[in-house]
Chain A
Amino acid sequence: MHVGGGFIVFIVNFLIRRLAQGVIIVFLVSFLIFTLLRVIPGDPVRLMAGGMAPDHVIDQIAEDMGLRDPIPVQFVRYMGGVLQGDLGQSFIRPASGAAVGGASFDDNTRSERAEVFDLIADTAPFTLQLALLAMAFALIVALPVGIYGGLRPGKWPDRLALYMGSLFISLPNFWLGIVLALVLSVNLGWLPAIGYQGFAYTILPAIVLAVEIAPFLIRSLTVSVAQNMRENYISVAAIRGIGHRRIVMAHALKNASVPLLNLLGVQFSMLLGGVLVVEFIFDYPGLGLLTINAVLQRDFPLIQGIAIVTSAAFVVINIIVDLVATTIDPRLEY
């Protein structure tokens, strides 16, 4: 209950329970990724050392790195590091910078390999910035269109919301990305498109992502606003003498915000974890691009690190969403 200290007890209980669940989820995800990466064919040591390296060298490196131990043993060793904040080192990337293919096995410079933690810490802010901007763009469009559509079911605002959603959802993001880059960047020269040298480079990919997620937000808003406007308490409120504007703003929208909030959480998690195509198209130096390269290079520690970090982000976002939803609708406490 919200009265007195009960609410504090509830929050503490809630956080402890959800964080404990979150740790289990992250652990399971790590184990799954870890095992799958080692079961699939393809030896990363061969990639690291180069195609020309003799077998005994390969074996030696693998032995040194512990890659020949049983999978559970490797996993325990790895998780021991994770608990201390050590996500391991990239197989491929040198600490100095650009990725190199391991063409020569006796190259001296390659011994200094990059920390996975650093690689992620360097790229995650870019993705976070992109995700937040995309979310902002999507909301700027979805809020008015969706709410208005929900308030006038069957009328033109409702249809506008529907058509807009259908149109946006049927635009493939790679196509839209290329077209926008061509028009806004190449032809008009308004916005930069490729790489990252400042905030302006975030705008174009954010627009593409916003178009991708806006239809879901519009639809969710239209449906839940329309549904709440049909609730008994809304029609009774008019009889109780409460003005229309206040009924909509204070009651219908408040109640409709809970499903929207849940959707935002899911969409935001998705943006953090997997804007692969869009980051690739715009060569945007975020987590998505890092993931693609890590997969292409069979950079196991890096893939694992990204998986752990993104699943932890999912967990945190979900906790925040549920906590905010509970403060909006206290029934969710039960």
Chain B
Amino acid sequence: MGTPLLDVSNLTVAVGEGASAPRVLTDISFTLEPRGILGVIGGSGAGKSVLAKAIINWLESPLRVVTGKVMFEGRDILTMSDRETRLLRGKAIGYVGGNPSGALDPTMTVGAQIVEKLQAVEPGTSYRKAQERVVALLDAVRIPSSDQRFNEYPFQYSGGMMQRAMIVDALVSNPRLIVADSITQPLDVTVGAQILKLLRELRDEFDTSILFVSNSLPTVADVSDRVIVLDRGIAVEQQPTADLITSPRSAETRQLIDELPTLWAHDDRSRLKPASEDARPIMSVRDVSRNYALASRGLLNFGPKRILQAVRHVDFDIYEGENFGIVGESGCGKSTLTRLLTALEPPDTGQITFEGKDIFGRGKEGTRAFRRRMQLVLQDPYNSLPPRNSIGTIIGEPLVIHGLASRKERRSRVLEVMAEVGLPASLYEELPMVLTAGQRQRVNVGRALILEPRLMLMDETLSALGQTEQGQLLDLLEKLQAQHGVTYLYISHDIAMVRRVCARVAVMYLGEVVELAENETLFFNPGHPYSRALLSAAPTLESRRYRSEDCLLDGEPPSPIDLPSGCAFASRCPQAFDRCLIENPRLQSRGGLNRAACHLLDSENTVPKEVSA
């Protein structure tokens, strides 16, 4: 090993002036060798982003370095002049942040801005040369048709594409170090997995060192050679990645590892109940589709109408008393399906029945009665509660809307429900602002529960909560299910949560249910390549049953406008063959309640394992 590329010693950062100012980072020391990837892991408030910014001397007031040095190639970054820092940042150190969508000027093309950067840090580069280099790098990060993409605007890029473009922006000046701060956080897991793979390849190809900051231990472990664990500004542990996972030295690291959900190993936190085949369906979705027509791009709006196919031929049953899950990544049609299932809008074709009756069949009154029996619990604990209404009013409001209780009854009913969801009665008159995220979700559950619904639709309800709060809320939901016999429909992008809770899972991709399977089947013997890809990309430390290298080709989902004629997943599927490009597979039974839509099953199904029900 030669001299380290980056040598941080005794770095302490405080908020504000004075000796008693609170410390955000305390006495951090580490080195990063050329070609090394160092991971920095920590929860929110651990100081990991501050560390990333300190390394490029980007601390803004009131943040302030108290002591310490950040030596980059033998020079202290913290004592450089503004001009030196600026050139160093752009040229020798590249920075990629966690918010790719807002990282470039929306009014200029992506290519022009990367060229602009290159010309700023390497004056004298001709536009032509710069453009050639940018296009070559866009190719290197596998942005398709890079020539054309060069001339597109940031808003025409998807999140994953934009993150690739930002990596190109960091790479374009041949930096020795790239600081990657939470770069996979806003991305879908399958796209995030591709970015990680790309990062490793780039290190090998361009000899760049990487400081990789993330709040997800599996993600950090995936790319890094060494890992620093930050906890409240203190580096509690620093080890090579493999050692850190197998023999963590600090309690904080052990907790991080313990909190991680497991997909395949037995998990004590599992709340799985077996699916029952003989139960009665409470809700049936029959061949439901929903399209949205967009304005044509032709002259005078003539030319083909563009149709966005948000939900395509979705068909499943939800049985009474079960936990049913719908998983999928952004753009898979979850939100549209939620709107259909809650009767916010009718499907174009197909039928949705609840307790045997069509939810749109009986006019406005019928829909209202349906909504009483079926309640939606929303995702965002912060924006889903009216900030100026008291908690009691919020929980009691559904009673007013449905005209169910007098003023007096309402109060006692609300207090009853508050006790049931674990909110102290003293909160009745308080405003939502005093609540924690977990308590807010309890309010949301409470205001759904007060109508005594038969089915509760949980739209990413647990996504915004930490592991501990998530576990507590799941306990509560389980208790309510035992007492009231409620059925839960979970809609989520989090496959680990679904693993712990849902007896049966529908996997959606581009508007279709590509697989409908019992929990164990989905995780141990998935029938659709996309399910495997999703499992291969899920953040976990377990030895994976599926490697993302084998399960997922580069590229992103096609646009839901102008869908390809064959299987929608074919463009990313390593097992796709001729037929997949021509013919869209329909869901077919794999025995029991399990169904999947893949042509590969035809060969598998020639010898049925079980007589299908």
Task: List the interface of chain A (C-beta within 8 A of B).
Answer: 1-3, 6, 9, 12-13, 16, 231-233, 236-243, 246, 250-251, 254-255, 328-331
Contact = CB atoms under 8 A, between A and B. Distances in A.
B301 A242 contact: no
Contact of B153 (A13, A236, A330): A330
Contacts of A12: 299-300
Contact of A13 (B58, B90, B104, B299): B299
Interface stretch (B115-123, B374-382, B514-522): B115-123
Contacts of A246: 116, 120
Nearest to B60: A235
B18 interface: no
A232 B181 CA distance: 14
Contacts of A231: 102
Given A3-B151, A241-B120, A233 B105 contact: yes
Interface stretch (B8-16, B91-99, B201-209, B453-461): B91-99
Given A241-B91, A331-B155, A6 B120 contact: no
Contacts of B95: 236, 239-240
Interface of B: 56, 58, 86-87, 89-91, 95, 97, 99, 102-108, 116-117, 120-121, 148, 151-153, 155-156, 169, 173, 297-301
Contacts of B108: 251, 254
Nearest to B105: A251
Contacts of B298: 9
Given A232-B99, A236-B102, 8 more contacts: A2-B153, A236-B95, A239-B95, A241-B89, A241-B91, A241-B120, A242-B90, A242-B117
B102 A239 contact: no
A239 B151 CA distance: 23
Contacts of A3: 148, 151-152
Given A13-B301, A329-B107, A239 B120 contact: no
Contacts of B99: 232
A157 to B, nearest CB: 19
Given A3-B148, A241-B89, A232 B117 contact: no
Contacts of A331: 106-107, 153, 155
Given A2-B151, A232-B102, A241 B86 contact: yes
Nearest to A242: B120
B107 A232 contact: no
Contacts of B152: 1, 3
A102 to B, nearest CB: 51
10 residue pairs, one from A and one from B, having the closest CB atoms? A241-B90, A232-B102, A241-B121, A251-B105, A329-B107, A242-B120, A239-B95, A236-B103, A240-B117, A331-B155
Nearest to A241: B90
Contacts of A254: 105, 107-108
13 contacts: A9-B298, A16-B300, A238-B89, A239-B58, A239-B89, A239-B95, A241-B117, A241-B173, A251-B108, A255-B105, A328-B107, A331-B107, A331-B155
Contacts of A13: 299-301
A228 to B, nearest CB: 9
Contact of A242 (B56, B107, B116, B155): B116
B143 to A, nearest CB: 15
Contacts of A250: 116
A3 B111 CA distance: 13
A237 B169 CA distance: 11
A233 B116 CA distance: 14
A255 B117 contact: no
B299 A9 contact: yes
A236 B298 CA distance: 37
Contacts of A1: 152, 156
